[in-house]
A and B are shown apart, each in its own frame.
Chain A
C-alpha cells in the first residue's frame, strides 16, 4: 500500500506566479489535511478536507490560498500570486477515518524567487 504521495517534491516559482501542489492520499483514506512548515514557525495546520468538502479551513490564509479534494483525483493546494513569504515545506496527511492517526507525505518544498 503506497503511502501519501505528494508532487512535485520541489517547486520553484517566481513572485506573482501560481503554485499547485498535489496530494494523493493513501488508498482508502478519504480525509486529507494540509500543513505548512515555515522556517521559524514550525508545523501549522492549514485545512482539512473530505471528498468534495472543506471541513475546516481555519488555518488557511484569507487570500490567495485555496484547497480542493475532488471526487476523483488528488487533493490540490493552490497558491495564487506567490510571494517570498510563501516559501515553505507543504505537507499533506491522510487518514481513513476522522479518528485515525494521520500519515504524512514527503512534502513539497516551495521556493519563491
Chain B
C-alpha cells in the first residue's frame, strides 16, 4: 500500500523567511511519481511539480525548490524568501507506475494530509 506523510500540520513564518515543507512516502513500486500541489484560500488545486522515481536531481523553479532523496524516501519542498501570497495548503502526493511501465493506476494519487503554510507580513 502507498502512504504519504506530511508531519507538519501547520507552519507559520514571517515574510522573507525560507521555509521547508517535509514529505515522506512509502511504496512498494520501483517506478513511481511524486507530486506537489498548492491549494490557496480560494480552494483550487494548483499543480506545482512531478518527479519520477528515477530522477533524483533537485529542481529549482524561481523561489521554489525540491529535494528528492530516495534513500530517505523524502521529497521536500522549500520556498525561499516567502511571500504572503505563498499562504496556502500544500499537498504532497504519490502515484504508481504509468501504463507504459506496467501500471494501471497512475492517476490514482495518494495524498498526504497537507501542510497549512501561513506567511505573515
- Where the two chains meet, the residues of A that have a C-beta atom closer than 8 Å to any C-beta of B are 31, 33, 35, 42-45, 48, 55-56, 58-59, 89, 91, 93, 95, 98-99, 101-107, 109
Contact = CB atoms under 8 A, between A and B. Distances in A.
A51 to B, nearest CB: 15
Given A42-B114, A43-B91, A104 B109 contact: no
B100 interface: yes
The bracket for how many chain B residues form the interface is 20 to 34
Contacts of A105: 44
A97 B43 CA distance: 25
Interface of B: 35, 37, 42-47, 50, 91, 93, 98-101, 104-114
Contacts of B99: 98-99
A104 B107 contact: no
B35 A91 contact: no
Contacts of B91: 42-43
13 contacts: A33-B108, A42-B111, A42-B114, A44-B111, A45-B109, A48-B108, A55-B104, A56-B108, A91-B45, A93-B107, A99-B98, A104-B44, A109-B43
A106 B93 CA distance: 18
B98 A56 contact: no
Contacts of A101: 35, 47, 50
A34 B108 CA distance: 9
Contacts of A35: 109
Nearest to B111: A43
Contacts of A55: 104
Contacts of B106: 98-99
Contacts of B93: 43
B45 A107 contact: yes
Contact of A59 (B43, B44, B47, B108): B108
